[in-house]
Amino acid sequence: MHNLPTFSLVLLNGIEHHFFPTIDSTNTWAKQNAHNFHTDKITIVTADQQTAGRGRLNRKWISPPGVNLYTSFCFFLMPNQNQKISLTNIPQILAISVVEILLELGFTAQLKWPNDILLNGKKLGGILSETTQIDEFICFIAGLGLNVNMTLNVLEGVGQPATSLLVEGKRLIEVSEILNLLQTQFMKNLTRLNNEGFMSFFDQYRQFLIHLANQSMQFHNNSEVLIGKFHSLNQDGSLNLELNDGAVKSFLVGEIQSL
Ligand code: BTN
């Protein structure tokens, strides 16, 4: 387990929506405009297409018009000792919320640690988290990209095994329906995280994860690449990787790939 700074949520008193037909990136816009957001509201920035969508580890996020969900959930946190929120758990509970609402729509998605959303083993969505300091608050920006109605030929250009709800479910789904379900579920889960901590999500998170004990994998983050086996998950959501020399190393963020 890691000894992390903790935060409390500034009371959520409603939702403010910003929609853009075209934008460079909902996360970039949110970061640039966070000083104008209401500190007591959740601000949801959504776009029909992104011209410079960003993924984790400096990758691009392919964001064609009219087919997918590109959205950033923004809200304010206060640094406070002995509170229940650790920053790394926020994208994890957003990913849990996505799996929950997809279940309601008839899809059984899974998670790849820490917060990639997979369907039938292929990437369906991902989350890019960023923060910016505004006065005494931290504005947390949780950017979600979810492939909804993207067709197979466009998916082939993504550069990794990826899929969409259309490809897997053979039916079109309104992107706005997903956003409506998700905003309710995420706000509920965020309030629960604030009140109860990540422990109350732990069993559910573990069940949604695709990894099996002893599975060989490559781990990388911005500074290192390691080969090892999936060892276990800690109650704070961090991953234990067993290295080839038997040592077990714990990580809060990074990316893993099965070998
Ligand atoms: C990943 O690499 O898995 C994370 C992808 C996150 C993409 C979303 S789309 C909405 C928001 N705006 C961005 O530029 N990125 C995130």
Supply the DSSP symbol for 161.
Answer: S
Identify the pLDDT of residue 212: 73
Q: Could you give the CA distance from residue 91 to residue 95 in angstroms, rounded to a whole number? A: 6
Cα separation values, 40 from 73, 75, 79, 88, Å: 13, 8, 15, 21
Q: Is the CB of 54 under 6 A from ligand 1?
A: yes
Q: Could you give the CA distance from residue 158 to residue 43 in angstroms, rounded to a whole number? A: 29
Supply the DSSP symbol for 57.
Answer: G
Cα separation values, 87 from 2, 56, 174, Å: 12, 16, 31
Look up residue 241 and give its two tokens.
């990787």
Q: Is the CB of 145 under 6 A from ligand 1?
A: yes
**Closest to 228 measured CA to CA, from 217, 239, 212:** 217
How open is the CA angle 27-31-36, to the nearest 5 degrees? 125
Cβ proximity of 44 and 15 under 8 Å? yes
Q: First vs last Cα of the chain: how many Å apart?
A: 26
191's enclosing H/E stretch is helix 175-196
Which protein residue's CA is at the shortest distance from atom 5 of ligand 1? 55
Identify the pLDDT of residue 103: 98
Q: Is the CB of 189 under 6 A from ligand 1?
A: no
Q: Is the CB of 59 under 6 A from ligand 1?
A: yes
Q: Could you give the CA distance from residue 45 to residue 83 in angstroms, rounded to a whole number? A: 27
Identify the pLDDT of residue 222: 79
Which atom of ligand 1 lies closest to the CA of 50? 14
pTM of the complete model: 0.97
Beta strand 69-79 with 116-119: parallel, antiparallel or unpaired? Answer: unpaired
Identify the pLDDT of residue 108: 98
Identify the pLDDT of residue 57: 87
Q: Is the CB of 127 under 6 A from ligand 1?
A: yes
Cβ proximity of 72 and 141 under 8 Å? yes
Mean pLDDT, consecutive 10-residue stretches, the chain (259 aa), reads 88 93 98 97 98 94 97 97 95 98 98 96 97 97 98 88 96 97 97 97 96 85 89 94 93 90
